[in-house]
Structure 1
Amino acid sequence: MLTMPVRQLGETERSAVMRVLDSDPYATAQVAERIAVHGLSWWRSDGRIYGYGARRHLESLLWSGAHLTPILATPPAVEAFAELVAGEHRVCSSIVGRADAVLGLWDRLAGAWGHPRDVRPNQPILATGELPAIRPDPAVRLAENSEIDIVFPAAVAMYTEEVGVSPLADGGGGGYKRRVAELVRSRRTYVRVENRQVVFKAELAVVTPHTAQVQGVWVDPAWRGRGIAAPAMAAVVTDALGRVAPTVSLYVNDYNHAARRVYARCGFRSAGTFATILF
């Protein structure tokens, strides 16, 4: 039996939900942007959000959609959320969020949901609100709408390398290309282009009033080892801070030492730890 009921939340509780999200702005950015765009009415969104806590004191949240994301989930909330979803057919492609809550959920769900494709238990969350100390690469700029067709192969290569499967698998190519095009048209995709080939790419995949979250950072393998990544990221951070949000954030696999050195040179500092369970 649940010690406190978990309930699906609707638009009437939006202010309470936003208070929870605002208290952890880097870890909750993806959910906060979705709610800002779609609200909390499940028929207008691509997921549902559940709350744990007394009606007048919302403690923890769970976003359930393409990703399962626990938010400020205390141990009792993790237990309750696990009980809520354990009996359901898994529809999410990952569980992602603060490491303690994600790993606690997975401890309780593993028996019901089977073997994951990968478990990434230690993904540092990094953030900065300061201009980088290194000179930005002047060749890094926002991608143009006319360049979607050259950005797309770079995005596919990045995704496949990072996630371990192609975004084109199982008929997903159309949806993925639409997402790539949306980011370009929204002036969120940065590139360095040489001879009509993208050699560096990064995206502001999530934007909230608190932060612009960088994802999809990629350097063409032929250009690695030439020292272009840090100045390129400095260009991204400089533009994002000046144009988009008061901070820039991201999360990275702990074993990606080269990327972590780049982010440190650009002024990023620790803001906690994520974990991801990939299916």
Structure 2
Amino acid sequence: MLTVPVRQLGESERRAVERLLDLDPFAGAQVAERVSARGLAWWRAEGRILGYGTRRNLESICWLGGNLTPILATDSAVAAFAEQLSAEERLCSSIVGRADAVLGLWDRLADHWGPARDVRPNQPLLATDTLPRIPVDPEVRRVRPDEVHRLFPAAVAMYAEEVGVSPLADDGGRAYRRRVEDLVRAGRAYARLVDGEVVFKAELAVVTRRTAQIQGVWVAPQWRGRGIATAAMAAVVRDALLRVAPTVSLYVNDFNLPARRVYQRCGFHPVGTLATILF
């Protein structure tokens, strides 16, 4: 029997949650953005936050919504979260976070929630707070609202290539298109267009007061190998640092060596390792 039970947290413990999120601003960025925007009430946040520790000493938290994300989860917290979650039906589409916690959860949940569609155990988490020292691509800019129809096919192609399933499968892509539209309206979607076609794209998918996290980096297949990605990414990083947040972060699959070289040239350095379990 667990001596420290897991409990669902409410708005009264928001400060304690924010304190923990500040201790891991890169791996916990997506959760921090949700908490900042919608608080801890599950009916507003579209997810729950589970806590491990006493009310006076909250040690670890775990976000459970579309994704399952452990934050600062110690071995004992991982065991406690897994015991709680193993009694529930899996509703999340992935488990993502610091590799030790994610893989520890999966070791305990695989028999209940498996099988996984893909396990990515080693995803370097990178960050920078320095403007790129390399030339930026002047053709990379924020996408305008009237250009969503041009960006959306590239976003679908990126998603299918990266995740392994199409975002059009469940509802014809309506929810995914709304997400793309929201990012464009917020000035968080970037692209380089040539003759009206997107040849490079990236988004600031998560923005907190501590970091802007880049996701959705994609180069059109016919443009790969031409060396456009480095200057294009440098343009995104520069704009994000000057306009949005004090740091820029991202994570990448360990086997994606071309992307890792691009990010290194843009000034990113390692700040940890993530893992992702995809269902």
- Please give the range of the TM-score, normalised by the shorter of the 2 chains: over 0.9
SS at match of 2:18: helix
1:64 maps onto 2:64 in alignment: yes
SS at structure 2 position matched to 1:274:
strand
- What is the distance in 2 between the residues matched to 1:169 and 1:3? 43
Match of 2:99 in 1: 99
**Equivalent position of 1:38 in the other structure:** 38
Tell me which residue corresponds to 2:214: 214
Which amino acid in the other structure matches residue 215 of structure 1? Answer: Q
Superimposed CA distance per residue, residues 211-264 of structure 1 (whole angstroms, 9 cap, x where no aligned partner): 000000000000001110000000000000000000000000000000000000
- In 1, distance between residues paired with 2:16 and 2:115? 35
Query: Which amino acid letter does the alignment assign opposite residue 157 of structure 1?
Result: A
1:79-90 to structure 2, matched below 5 A, reads: 79-90=79-90
User: Which residue number corresponds to residue 166 of structure 2?
Assistant: 166
Matched, 1:132 2:132: yes
Shift of 1:170: 2.0
Q: What's the counterpart of residue 118 of structure 2?
A: 118
Runs of 4+ more than 3 Å apart: none
Q: Give TM-score, length-normalised by structure 2.
A: 0.99
Cα deviation, residue 172, structure 1: 5.0
Structure 1, gaps ≥5 residues long: none
* Alignment-derived partner of residue 228 in structure 1: 228
Which residue number corresponds to residue 253 of structure 1? 253
Q: Which amino acid counterpart does residue 237 of structure 2 have in structure 1?
A: V
Q: Separation in 2 of the partners of 1:203 and 1:120? A: 22
Give the residue type in structure 2 aligned to 1:23.
L
In structure 2, what is the equivalent of residue 17 of structure 1?
17
Percent identity among equivalent residues?
Answer: 70
Change (3 A) 1:47 1:172: farther
CA distance in 2, matches of 1:145, 1:100: 40
**Alpha-carbon deviations, 1:190-221, whole Å to 9, x = none?**
00000110000000000000000000000000
Letter in structure 2 aligned against 1:39? G
Aligned residue pairs: how many?
279
Q: Deviation string for 1:81-117 (max 9, x for gaps)?
A: 0000001110000000000000000000001112100
Matches of 1:173 and 1:214, distance apart in 2: 22
**1:186 counterpart letter in structure 2:** A
**1:3 CA drift (Å):** 2.0
